[in-house]
Amino acid sequence: MNETMIVLRKKVKRKLRSPVLIVGLPGIGLVGKLAADHMIKELKAEKIAELYSPHFPHQVLMRKNGTMRMLKNKIYVLPSKGRGKDVVVLVGDVQAVTSEAQYEVCGKMLDFFAKLGGKEIYTLGGYGVGKMVDVPKVFGSATHKEMIEGLKKHGLIFGIANGSIIGAAGLLLGVGRLRGMRGACLMGETHGGYVDAKCAQSVLKALGSILGIEINLAKLEERAKESEKFARKMEKEAERQRELGVGGGGELSYIR
């Protein structure tokens, strides 16, 4: 394999209507991945393709049944149910490991999305604040200024800082804009040191409002309680380490 390839697993039987791409790949707090995976399961999305790349880490994943599989990203389509726009979802195991690789992988994904007739993208991720948050806010950054007022109506907060969006969550939007596409990154407020299901809930609520889709969050709520319990336990341990004067300041490390 010399370059990224997308393998069709199921032919799309109809022409998609103004498809919107939702992207939830691994990143800080696994916020985007948790949100997109939950969306796929709850709305019974149909897998249409898989993306493989030599730019992913050089390993395979072992399964409980004794077999193995390649690292991959997966592309799904949500059932239409009379919506004005169809929804395509990109999820996966990993992101590309270098800057050049990110451009190549994102380029191939945008080529695929363009062939489906898509011009609108929403990427999902976390915005690390280094502390636990009771009610995570959802920050936004859009490709076009005229989108901002409309997205604010769905609870997104803009103008938080002059920073960077690293990886596919930013690059798909940036390169997409050069190709005439538009969209925004939805970033949930998260500690950044643990898997944050509560933050994923906030991001999904905002996304559901934007798309006009109702998403049952009950199962994600259960996971959010578990992750919050774990996080509080870790914070107590970090505080104990600080009191003892050990542990490099007690900062929690990022858990993939």
Q: Which pLDDT belongs to residue 131?
A: 86
Q: Which pLDDT belongs to residue 193?
A: 84
For residue 195, how many other CB atoms are within 10 A of its CB?
Answer: 21
Q: Which pLDDT belongs to residue 216?
A: 92
Q: Which pLDDT belongs to residue 18?
A: 93
For residue 165, how many other CB atoms are within 10 A of its CB?
Answer: 18
Q: Which pLDDT belongs to residue 253?
A: 33
Q: Which pLDDT belongs to residue 81?
A: 76
Question: What tokens does 197 get?
Answer: 């299901």
Low-confidence ranges of the chain (pLDDT < 70): 161, 227-232, 234-239, 242, 246-256
- 3-state SS assignment for residue 89: strand
φ/ψ (deg, to 5) at 14? -135, 160
Question: What tokens does 19 get?
Answer: 């498809």
Q: Which pLDDT belongs to residue 7?
A: 97
Instruction: State how far the Cα of 138 lies from the Cα of 155, in Å rounded to an integer.
Output: 7
Specify the pTM. 0.88
* β partners of residue 212: none
Q: Which pLDDT belongs to residue 148?
A: 97
Instruction: Spell out the domains of the chain, with CATH numbers in brackets.
Output: 5-250 (3.40.50.10900)
